[in-house]
Structure 1
Amino acid sequence: MLVVISPAKRLDWEMRDVEMTAPAFQDDALRLVKTARNLPLGKLKGLMDLSDDLARLNRDRFAAFEDAPEPGLTRPAALAFAGDTYQGLEAASLDKEELAWAQDHLRILSGLYGLLRPLDAIQPYRLEMGSRLKTRRGASLYDYWRDDLAKALNRQAEDLGTDLLVNCASQEYFAAVSPKALKLKVITPQFMEEKGDGKGPKIVSFFAKKARGAMARFIVQNRITDGCGVLEFDLGGYRFDPSRSTRERPVFLRPYPAA
């Protein structure tokens, strides 16, 4: 199976002693950087709803982005992203064999790089998939990527001999994967918290993001290749709840964590 997750806005730029690989859509990333580089600071700020300081930081990142960066300027994607999902994934604690399996089976959807493997070399950036960055292909990044990401996932799944995709990405990012072009069966796990207040279980964004990363880690560490194996997920106190689940949307439930 393949597993997809979202990237993160926050980065961890610590040096890592791993051999990096080249992103499949590196040329597209360079085209998008050139487009973003030409935006005035105010336009860039509004595009991603940034503060003045973050707008300047990202303007400087686009300005410094290199066509052929030296290794010291890049980091492996799964180890560079540091948001909630990556707290659950904990990629830095995976051993060499687990990272190698993840390199084949785990993918990160990216507004800039399209589709990344865990060890693909990235430069520092921030460009959310939902950004309305105008290019020759249209008014947004969804227009830019069109069917490319779905077709790439189809090819990579075929190489693995699988027709199954576990979607642990956010709605914003998975919306870039064209459902018409995607030929894979999709399982989208849902993670819910039960407060015991009589209102029923709810999805809590922070916990759900972390759980999606933990699910990706669980699949990697256990070398899971079928849908039944996904249902055995039990990290963080979650348990599969068949009464609330469908085949395409298995629900995992736990008591709301104590403060």
Structure 2
Amino acid sequence: MLTVISPAKSLDLSPVAVPATRPAWQDDAVRLSKTAKNLTLGGLKSLMGISDDLARLNRDRFRAFAAEPDAEAVRPAAFIFNGDTYQGLEAKTLEPEDLQWAQDHLRILSGLYGLLRPLDAIQPYRLEMGSRLKTRRGSTLYDYWGDQIAKALRDQAQALGTDTLINCASEEYFKAADRKSLKLRVITPQFMEVKEGRPRIVSFFAKRARGAMARFITQNRLVDAEAIKDFSAGGYAFDADLSGDDAWVFLRDYPEPSEGK
């Protein structure tokens, strides 16, 4: 069983002491960073929907992006992202053995790097998968990556001897994995809160739960998809009645304000 998650906008640049690996598609990241570097501040603002200050920050990051960066300039992918999903994953509290297992079983979808292992050393960046960055391959990053991500996921699944992928990524990112080329069963956990008797998806909670699910799979070395139905972090429980064949719903009561902090 293979699991995918997607990155977040916020970054944690504090140093970490774990061995890092080289991203498989570092050359693509360099190519895309050069394209983004040539945009004006206004172009970056429009591309990403960000403020002047963030546009300057990311322009400087793209200008500093190196083909072979120094060790001080990179962080392992699972540690550098710091959004809701990654707060659920809590990568820095995983044991070294967990991280090594995750190297084979967990993949991070990335607009800039395509596909990352948890310990791949990456440079700070912001480039969401849905960005309409024009390259020679087309007008979006979906055009740029084509079926490359899907084929890499399929190859890794074959190496693991599995035909199942657990999708803990956002819809925006998972669209980059071309389903025709993927040729895997994709199970997507959906996390819902019950309030006033009605279940609904609350983005903030769902993102954290997706990260917690990836952590649960990693810590328990799960290779059978059925085993994820035992997930109970945060009070969630699998609901067979609301679940479909490959969309598995996990419910909990809407948390009190103090619980959601």
Identify the TM-score tier after normalising by the shorter chain: over 0.9
Q: Distance in 2 between matches of 1:117 and 1:64?
A: 23
- Is it true that 1:108 corresponds to 2:116 in the alignment? no
Aligned to 1:192: 192
Partner of 1:213: 211
Aligned residue type for 1:128 = E
Q: Which residue of 1 aligns with 2:158?
A: 158
In structure 2, what is the Cα distance between the partners aligned to 1:157 and 1:194?
Answer: 35
Which residue number in structure 1 is paired with residue 244 of structure 2? Answer: 246
- Listed as ranges, the matches of 1:130-169 within 5 Å are 130-169=130-169
Counterpart in 2 of 1:80? 80
| Structure 1 vs Structure 2 CA RMSD | 0.6
Shift, 1:153, TM fit = 0.4
CA distance in 2, matches of 1:64, 1:24: 20
Q: Determine the C-alpha separation between the residues in 2 that align with 1:65 and 1:24.
A: 16
- Paired letter, 1:241: D
Question: Which whole-Å deviations, capped at 9, do the CAs of 1:177-200 have from their partners, x for residues lacking one?
Answer: 0011111110000000001x24x1
Give the equivalent residue in structure 1 for 2:45.
45
Q: After superposition, what is the alpha-carbon deviation per residue over 1:236-258, rounded to whole angstroms, capped at 9, x for unaligned?
A: 10000001011201100000000
Q: TM-score, normalised by structure 2?
A: 0.98
Paired with 1:247 and 1:75, the residues of 2 have a C-alpha distance of 38
Letter in 1 for 2:241: S
Alignment pair present for 1:55 and 2:78: no
Which amino acid letter does the alignment assign opposite residue 245 of structure 1? S
Corresponding residue for 1:29?
Answer: 29
Structure-1-length-normalised TM-score: 0.98
In structure 1, C-alpha distance between the alignment counterparts of 2:242 and 2:155, rounded to whole Å:
33
- Which amino acid counterpart does residue 166 of structure 2 have in structure 1? V
Deviation of the 1:227 alpha carbon: 1.4
Helix, strand or coil: the match of 1:166?
Answer: strand
Deviations 1:62-121 (A, max 9, x none): 001111101111000001100000110000000011111111101000000000000000
1:147-198 CA deviation, whole Å, 9 max, x = no partner? Answer: 0000000111111111110000000000010011111110000000001x24
Q: Distance in 1 between matches of 2:65 and 2:22?
A: 15
Q: Runs of 5+ in structure 1 lacking a partner?
A: none
- Give the equivalent residue in structure 1 for 2:98: 98
The letter for the 2-side match of 1:83 is: G
Q: How does 1:111-130 map to 2 (within 5 A)?
A: 111-130=111-130
Give the percent of matched residue pairs that are identical in Structure 1 and Structure 2: 68
Q: AA paired with 1:82?
A: N
| 1:195-224 Cα shifts (integer Å, max 9, x gaps) | 1x24x1000000000000000000000111
Distance across 2 between alignment mates of 1:67 and 1:223? 34
Q: Count matched residues.
A: 257
